[in-house]
Amino acid sequence: MYKVKVYVTLRESVLDPQGEAVKNALHSMNYGEVGSVRIGKYMELEIEKGSKEVEETVNEICSRLLSNPVIENYRYEIEECVAL
Amino acid sequence: MYKVKVYVTLRESVLDPQGEAVKNALHSMNYGEVGSVRIGKYMELEIEKGSKEVEETVNEICSRLLSNPVIENYRYEIEECVAL
């Protein structure tokens, strides 16, 4: 079994109104030292060994469902779990 | 300046309907090898040097605004950026 961590972030050129709102909230809570906030998604998947390479599966899943490639980037880490 | 990456995840004991929905979507897209999906948040903050230690600031921000400590855990990584 593989444990996969997926990080989806907005592309640099895309405005992040949610992050902007968090930044303004932090400023009004007296955390003026916070300069910029960008908000993304973090996902943990468990994937069984299948017929395809796990990396291929993860790439397909990320680009087809978990992210919107027009405005978002994704990266991932794959850990193999070995049953003892 | 510090670059801070914050990861907010649901506690193990808390149900994740959003993750469940993603799992079901993946199964109907013929990715039956996906066993479980948990969805969290990922945030990147830029924080200027302030009067307090950055770690203290980040802990406060995470527990007061970025996460709900009743149902979520958070962890973070702090990188110091040096202007050359």
Closest-approach residue (CA) in chain A for B50: A33
Q: Which of B39, B42, B47 lies nearest to residue A34, judging by beta carbons? A: B47
Question: What pLDDT was estimated at residue B82?
Answer: 83
Distance CA B1, CA B83 (A): 8
Would you say A55 and A66 are in contact if contact means Cβ atoms under 8 Å apart? Answer: no
Does position A20 have pLDDT exceeding 80, yes or no?
Answer: yes
Whether residues A46 and B61 touch (CB distance < 8 A) is answered with no
pLDDT > 90 in chain A, percent: 88
- ipTM > 0.95 for the complex: no
pLDDT tens profile B8-49: 999 999 999 999 999 999 999 999 999 999 999 999 999 998
Distance CA A15, CA A37 (A): 11
pLDDT > 90 in chain B, percent: 88
**At B7, which amino acid appears?**
Y
CB pairs under 8 A between A and B: 100
Q: Which domains does chain A have, with CATH numbers?
A: 2-80 (3.30.1280.10)
Whether residues B34 and A66 touch (CB distance < 8 A) is answered with no
Q: Which residues pair with B73 in a beta bridge?
A: B9
pLDDT tens profile A56-79: 999 999 999 999 999 999 999 999
Residue A43 zone, left/alpha/beta (φ > 0; ψ -120 to 50; rest): beta
Burial class (CB in 10 A: 0-12, 13-18, 19+), B56: exposed
pLDDT band at B75 (very low <50, low <70, confident <90, very high): very high
Tell me, yes or no, if A7 comes closer than 8 A to chain B by beta carbon: yes
- Give the best residue of A8, A43, A57 to mutate against chain B (max B CB count within 10 A): A43
Closest-approach residue (CA) in chain A for B40: A42
Q: How many CB atoms lie within 10 A of CB B24?
A: 12
